[in-house]
Structure 1
Amino acid sequence: MDLYRKVRLACAEGMSQREAARHFGISRDSVRKILAFSVPPGYRRSAPIRRPKLDGFTGIIDQWLSEDRERPRKQRHTAKRIFERLRDEHGFEGGYTIIKDYVREHGRRHREVFVPLTHAPGHAQADFGEAVAVIGGAEQKAHFFALDLPHGDACYIRAYPAATAEAWMDGHVHAFGFFGAVPQSILYDNDRCLVAKIEPDGTRRRARLFSEMLSHYVIRDRYGRPGKGNDKGSVEGLVGYSRRNFMVPIPNFPTWDAFNDWLEEQCRKRQNDKLRGHSETIGERLQQDLEAMTPLSAAPFAACDQASGRVSSLALVRYKTNDYSLPVAFGHRDVWIRACVDRVVIGCGGEVIARHARSYDREDMIFDPIHYLPLLERKIAAFEQAAPLAGWELPKAFGTLQKLMEARMLKAGRREYVQVLRLLESFEMEEVHAAVKAALQMGAISFDAVKHLVLCRIERRPPRLDLDVYPFLPRTTVQTTSPASYMCLTTGAPT
């Protein structure tokens, strides 16, 4: 630019083009160009690029790349594969570089262009993301629910062991509770937990649990195009933001609840941020969303899947590949199942008969040992090999009591020990444990003694294991045995 200015200034003061070329050491063509343009115009191609070795094959390349749009992303042509096919199948004699340059330019010409969108207050977008977390000392995949209010950029994040339908619904329930209001509409992708089927006319057949949630909160659902994440770009961006900012370094928490409490705190802190292009914080703009959202219903939606099953001969019922135990009295009966994010509740008729922590493994067996104690009392020979008792961590006093009972009464002692364990059907572990320890200290090694001590603790009365306080019991007199008493067995004398 400095040379342009000097040449144009000299010629404006009367210097000829020939003299200017000689004075500034440039050609007369350069002087004419400088006088024709106030700034360097740059290189201008006057004719299209000629590619004699490639021009006859561009139609084939365009056809292949066009067909690739309907194929899986990981099975599309690369520039290298196009070069190899042209060389082997069509006699191409050019080099790889011109193929690579053409494919790159083709991609630029056909890259999608998007329309900037505006978002009205009171509407939301929802999605699920994945990250690695350490929960309870074990590294595992965390599936986190993300709900974004695009108008004000407020967000809610909650993590789960799996992205099930119950997790989707539970995420909505907690998000609505977090904001204290319900969006007018929510934009989703076509996740199978939400959409059972896309009809030929484009309408969605909703999954049962999802449809119930929409009806409960009166939400209008909207959907993006299949495979087009840009239709809900706000929440897609939130998923990436959450992974980079909330999941780095890898989160480490003792429980899922502790992790989710921390995530809620991060969402609240983010409301103090002021994003580019806005003069107000996220929290201040959130008020506009809340004014446009509908009030929260008094009763939250029960985010639980419902199913039914029949109890097997092993007192197990199956739900989602996993088997859960029930009291043996309900064997071979039909039961109902309610599966929530963290628990599985099983009932028969109007009665709840079992509760279990939910397992997200496959082909797992979840036992409650107490369910099998009535059966083990009758089939005491199976006690040592009973799978429900394997891994049952009881206080040390129970093991001591078992050894003493078995040493004193053998098989009958083992059965009596099971009777002691059956006290856990009616009383808390703390009460039974205290009674067992008291019985060991007093040397009262029996089921009746332990039960008496439990009842005394609950009724807040002193234990009385002395028969003198029970006058209604029949009195017995036990005489001392003498050797002469056995003589009748040899002499035939009357006894």
Structure 2
Amino acid sequence: MVNRVEVFAAIRRDARVEGMSIRALAEKHGVHRRTVRQALEGAEPPPRKTPVRMSPRLAPFKSAIDEMLTCDLDAPRKQRHTARRVHVRLIEEHAATNLSYSTVRDYVRVRRAQIDLAAGRRNEVMVPQEHAPAAEAEVDFGEVYVILAGVKTKCRMFTFRLSYSGKAIHRVYATEGQEAFLEGHIDAFNEIGGIPTRHIRYDNLTSAVSKVVVARGHDPARDRVENSRWLLFRSHYGFDAFYCQPGIAGAHEKGGVEGEVGRFRRTHLVPMPVVDSLDELNEKIREWDLADERRRINDRIRTVADDFAQERQLLAPVPVEGFEPGLILTPRVDRSSLITVRMARYSVPARFIHRRVRVSLRASEVVVFDPDKSGRTQIARHPRVVTKGGQCVDLDHYLEVLKGKPGALPGSTALAQARASGVFTAAHEAFWANARRRLGDADGTRELIDVLLLHRHLPAAAVEAGLTAAISVGATSADVVALEARLHLAKTDAIAVVEHAGAVGGAGSGRHLVAQRHLDEQQDVARDVVAEARRRKVVSLTERLLLDPAAVIAGLPPDTRPLPSVEKYDQLLRLRTGTDNHPAPPTEQARPARPALSVEETP
């Protein structure tokens, strides 16, 4: 296709240089003489006229279509006429059988916009905004899917974005409840090191807004009845809330965070992340948030980190006193030592059966407190269960009960969950099998329970080391496990002291001779402990005693300890009387018999 601008330029050049007539120019360039006259009048070609297509078959039905589209002005957004529905109604109600769908579709597309504009629906103009540093922020929730412990799970992503720098904080929670809403704010404030000074923009989510007030003659988008706990939270941290218009109409009022949710989801959560817990995912998200500070938003010259460095200094300080984000509940413990929180069940120690406990329901965990000790003594902590009817049971909460009912342990839910979580290890299984084989099911299980009780006072690694040592020699006593666990713990601490002393010892100087001498002494003691721990070996007499008791007794080392003596007690008696000639106490034969008491004298 020949460019009309080039044709006009050639015509004007020939007329100017050659002095050709209009007829000659038209013949040379193959155009109409009217086009030559247009080129001589101006260098820019006139716009082409768009032909108006006639729709004679549609004309009788335009008024009916306009009536349908006008009714849509008051109809719900999801129950308005589509072009397909308009075409069907025209056929059914007006016998428009010869009218094609494409004709109706083109008319509806143009006419709907005209009717909406006439009704004031499409005359809203977006005004560009400037945000002062540290003044404003935006908050929103977004939907994300996560492969959580091998299961595709629908979660909610909390997003907090500073309007000036674009610095954003993201957290993924199992629900969109108020506890997640408050916890997300607390994490965001602590992460950025401050609070916006003007306000934070929100949707009309139920975690903050109890009711949207619509009054005649007033702007229905700004009047709200806020949740009382949300008011307490805002008062504690000292910031104001700005609520956007309800529905899609208010989405542009916090467009920054709306776009941030999609950007982060597409950038970091595609494909779906595979994690064992939401805590693991949120740790990754913290790293991604820091990495995103190096990006530039749109056509900005500076990075997010550069703008945030300026904004951080102007934020209001975070209060020193913290805020409990969890929802406080007081459920009663049932006979199975379980409490029910949001249609899920959690275990507590068995001593609290039939009593009420204080529960803090948080976004990712459930914390249980003893109500009789100022409400601050923690008695249980569980990850939050989001499935309806789910259970989270801790084996430690039932150990005292199982000590008296050892037969209930093998089929218990607590043991099954302990195995699934890895708390009940292969070492526990091997020790339990040996103990039941040698001591019987009941006594062997009780020994295992005594071993499990050691976890309350010793680290899991130490107890597992004690189990390994006991299993290696065939010991089935919890006392052996406890002894070896404490020995392992002492050995670990001694090695840490040796390493620390070795690291610090090289940096010593004459000014720290006393400190250096103290470190040397610690290092010598630690080396002795390590050497003793390596030299010692568990000696089990159980297996050998079952095979040959005489050989065990004969194989014992000789007892070189002196015989016991009461000479020192005799010296105390002489010191008490002040003389060394104190008569010796009467022997059993010389001691007079005590007269028997009568019935009346019996105490």
Taking structure 2 as the reference length, the TM-score comes to: 0.68
Asked if 2 retains the 8 angstrom alpha-carbon contact of 1:376 and 1:418, the reply is: no
The 5 A counterparts of 1:266-415 are 266-349=288-371, 350=375, 351-393=377-419, 394-410=424-440, 412-414=442-444
Aligned residues: 470
1:331/1:443 CA distance change after superposition, 3 Å? same
How far is 1:101 from its partner?
0.8
SS in 1 for 2:357: strand
Q: 1:66 to 1:127 in 2, by over 3 A?
A: farther
Q: Distance in 2 between matches of 1:99 and 1:415?
A: 80
Is the 1:133–1:141 contact (alpha carbons within 8 Å) kept by the matching residues of 2?
yes
Q: What residue in structure 2 maps to residue 99 of structure 1?
A: 104
Q: 1:269 to 1:197 in 2, by over 3 A?
A: same
Structure 2 distance, partners of 1:225, 1:443, is 73
Q: Aligned equivalents of 1:305 and 1:70: distance in 2? A: 41
Q: 1:379 to 1:136 in 2, by over 3 A?
A: closer
- Mapping for residues 113-262 of structure 1, pairs under 5 Å: 113-121=124-132, 122-134=135-147, 139-184=152-197, 185-201=199-215, 202=220, 203-228=223-248, 229-252=251-274, 255-262=277-284
1:242–1:433 CA distance, 2 compared to 1 (3 A): closer
Q: State the secondary structure of the residue aligned to 2:247.
A: coil
Q: Is the 8 A contact 2:473 2:540 kept in 1?
A: no
One-letter amino acid of the structure 1 residue matched with residue 95 of structure 2: G
Whether the 8 Å CA contact 2:200–2:242 is kept in 1: the answer is: yes
- Mapping 1:419-430, distance limit 5 Å: 419-421=449-451, 423-424=453-454, 426-428=456-458, 429-430=460-461
- Answering whether residue 68 of structure 2 is matched by residue 64 of structure 1, we say yes
CA contact (8 A) 2:68 2:81 kept: yes
Aligned to 2:302, what secondary structure does the other structure show?
Answer: coil
Q: Does 1:40 align with 2:45?
A: yes
**In 2, Cα distance between the equivalents of 1:459 and 1:274?**
53
Tell me the equivalent position of 2:571.
none
Q: Offset of 1:204 from its aligned partner?
A: 2.4
- Aligned residues of 1:161 and 1:360 also touching (Cα < 8 A): yes
| CA offset digits 1:387-434 (Å, max 9, x no partner) | 222243323343344344444554642563364256247433445444
TM-score by length of 1: 0.81
1:90 aligns with 94
Gaps of 5+ in 2: 117-121, 492-528, 530-535, 542-558, 565-603
SS at match of 1:101: helix
11, 27, 31: which one pairs with 1:26?
31
Write the distance in 2 (CA, Å) between the matches of 1:97 and 1:449: 87
Residue 438 and residue 152 in structure 1: after superposition, are their counterparts in 2 closer, same or farther (change >3 A)?
closer
User: Which string of whole-angstrom CA distances, capped at 9 and with x for unpartnered residues, describes residues 304-324 of structure 1?
Assistant: 222221112221111111100
Give the AA of the match of 2:335. S
Q: Percent same amino acid among aligned pairs?
A: 28
CA contact (8 A) 2:454 2:463 kept: yes
Residues 129, 144 of structure 1: 8 Å contact kept: yes
Distance 2:15 2:28 in 1: 11
Of 433-442 and 51-60, more deviation after overlay is shown by 433-442
Whether 1:81 and 2:76 are equivalent positions in the alignment is no
Amino acid at match of 1:43: R
Structure 1 gap segments, 5+ residues each: 473-495
How far 1:125 moved relative to its partner? 0.7
Render the CA deviation track for 1:163-202: whole Å, top value 9, x for unaligned: 3322222222222222211112110111223323223344
SS at match of 2:140: strand
Counterpart code for 1:354: A
What is the distance in 1 between the residues matched to 2:436 and 2:283? 49
**Deviation per CA, 1:222-271, whole angstroms, max 9, x where unpaired?**
11111121121111111122122222344445654444344333333333
Asked which structure has the greater CA Rg, the reply is: 2
Q: Tell me: CA distance 1:239–1:450, structure 2 relative to 1, closer, same or farther (3 Å).
A: closer
**1:301 aligned partner, one-letter code:** F
How many Å separate the matches in 2 of 1:333 and 1:236? Answer: 46
Hey, what's the Cα distance between the residues in 1 that align with 2:42 and 2:34? 12
Ranked by relative contact order (alpha carbons within 8 Å, sequence separation 6 or more), the top structure is: 1
Distance 1:15 1:451, change over 3 A: closer
Give me the whole-angstrom Cα distance separating, in 2, the residues matched to 1:301 and 1:112.
45
Amino acid paired to 2:391: M
State the alpha-carbon separation in 1 of the partners of residues 478 and 295 from structure 2.
65
**Is the partner of 1:172 in helix, strand or coil?**
helix
2:183 aligned partner, one-letter code:
D
| Alignment partners' CA distance in 2, 1:330 and 1:19 | 110
Structure holding more strand per residue: 1
